[in-house]
Structure formats: C-alpha cells, structure tokens
A and B are shown apart, each in its own frame.
Chain A
Amino acid sequence: MSWPPTWARGPLNYCPWCMSPLVNDNPRCLRCGRHASEARLVLTSLTAGDMTREIRNDLVHRFGHDPIVDVRIERLVTSDNEALDPPRWAVLALHFLLPHRDRRAIIGDLVEEYAEIYGNCGRFAATAWLWWQATRSSIRLGVIAWLVGRVKRLIP
C-alpha cells in the first residue's frame, strides 16, 4: 500500500472508511454514509498522546497491519498534526484582540473552521482565511481605530 494514502493528500476517489468508490466526486459515501473529510479530520485531529491502542488497532484494521505502516501512521499523526496547527501569530493576535468573555469560544470556532478548510482546500487557503477572519474579528482593534478616529476629528 502506498503512503500517505491518496485521500490524505489529493482528491478522493474512494471512501477511506469502507473503500467503496465515490460516485460523481460526491464526498459522502453512498454505501456507509460517512463523509470522506471525517476520516481526514480524525487523523489530523489526533495527537501523539491520543494514539491509544484502540485507535491504533482501528487504523491498522483500516489500512492493513504492517510495522512500516505502523511507524508511518505515528509519523503522519505527529508531523501532520504540527502542519495542521493554525498560524500561531494569528491565534496569538486573536487572543490579545478579542474581548475576554468570548475569546475561547471565538478562537475555538475559527480553529474548527480552519481544520475544515484545510481538509477541503489546503493549507494556503486555510491560513489566508484565518488571517482574514482574525483581522475582521478583532473587535477591540476596530473599537480602538474608531476611538482614534473620533479623537482625531476633535483635534483641530
């Protein structure tokens, strides 16, 4: 078996769960009803610490038992997870610019959507999207800019 599997990198032509072909590029499998991006999210959302015996067995069951594959699963889980990490500077900027009350929920929502866009459109699109959202959602920054504008208007 080739590694990484095609569904982890390129367009999908079969269901990563039950291996049946996907019809008309529809990402939802007509046989098992699962969405192909779910599998991508399962792998990309795992950390090395999450690699329990059950998850490992499940992955081995899905992709075949092979010591090399086993090592590669480990590598994929650790290295790809680093790659999926949203841009730290964007998250840090959001952390300081968002109001305290909504900070965790907003960053969580953005990171969740980042993972979804990453899975569908790739890293560049996801990163660009997150920076755009960070800029737009910086309420505090907007308020500061508005206040500066008001003060400037007052100065003759």
Chain B
Amino acid sequence: MNKGRNLGEFERCVLFAVLRLREQAYGMLIRKEIQKQMSRDASIGSVYVTLDRLEAKGFVTSWDGESTPVRGGRAKRYFELTASGARALEEFDRDYMVLRRALTALSPRTAS
C-alpha cells in the first residue's frame, strides 16, 4: 500500500532514531537505536529500504562518510532529518495524541 507522504509505524521508528542520533546516524547505529529504544528487532536490509523510501519522500538526506579498516574500507552512509521530516514526525505525534484522546474518551462508555 502506498502511504504517500504519510508515515508508517516503522518509518516513524526510523525517523525517531535518526533524530536521536543526530550527526552520527548511519545504518548500524540506527538499527541498534531502534532495538534499544523500541525493543524491536529490525534487519539492516529493512532499515535501508525504509531510509531509501524516506529519502524519496524528502524526509531525510544522505551522504557518504568515511571508510574505516573495520568496515573493510567500505564507506558509511550517514542520514539527516530534513525540515519536512521533522514536520511529518510532529504531525504523526499530533495525530496519535488525537487518536489516544478519542480512545480515552470512548473507553468509559465501552466499559459501562
């Protein structure tokens, strides 16, 4: 399903990890951050697919960083949240809060 410019749940997790890591956000750390903060196991492949999708939507930008001997000379790909990415994250949180308030208002009635 194409979500257009809306955020999916996993996309929100990835954006949140990129936001938290700031200038150190690259694949491996993003994956670890998702595992640590959301207690959710994600493969590195799914993280990159999501990041590519977010980049196509204009929510993140990426650039190639330095390569280290530990990585066998392969460069890191860093990601950064854009202004529209931050806005999308805010909108997601606002929608989530609205939904939560609606559910809270609904729950006493469903209970009775």
Contact = CB atoms under 8 A, between A and B. Distances in A.
Interface in A123-153: 133, 136-139
Given A98-B45, A102-B77, A113-B28, A108 B69 contact: no
Interface string A102-116: 101111111111010
Contacts of A47: 69
Contacts of A106: 27, 44-45, 48
A22 interface: no
Interface residues of B, number: 22
B101 interface: no
A105 B69 contact: no
Chain A interface bracket (under 10, 10 to 19, 20 to 34, 35 or more): 20 to 34
Interface string B1-37: 0000000000000000000000000111001000000
Contact of A112 (B46, B52, B70, B77): B70
A interface: dominant SS = helix
A127 to B, nearest CB: 16
B44 A115 contact: no
A136 B43 CA distance: 6
A136 B77 CA distance: 20
Most A-side CB within 10 Å, residue of B28, B67, B75: B28
Contacts of A138: 45
Interface string A53-97: 000000000000000000000000000000000000000000000
Contacts of A136: 43, 45-46
A107 to B, nearest CB: 6
B36 to A, nearest CB: 14
Interface of B: 26-28, 31, 43-46, 48-49, 52, 64, 67-72, 74-77
Interface of A: 41, 45-47, 50, 98, 101-102, 104-113, 115, 133, 136-139
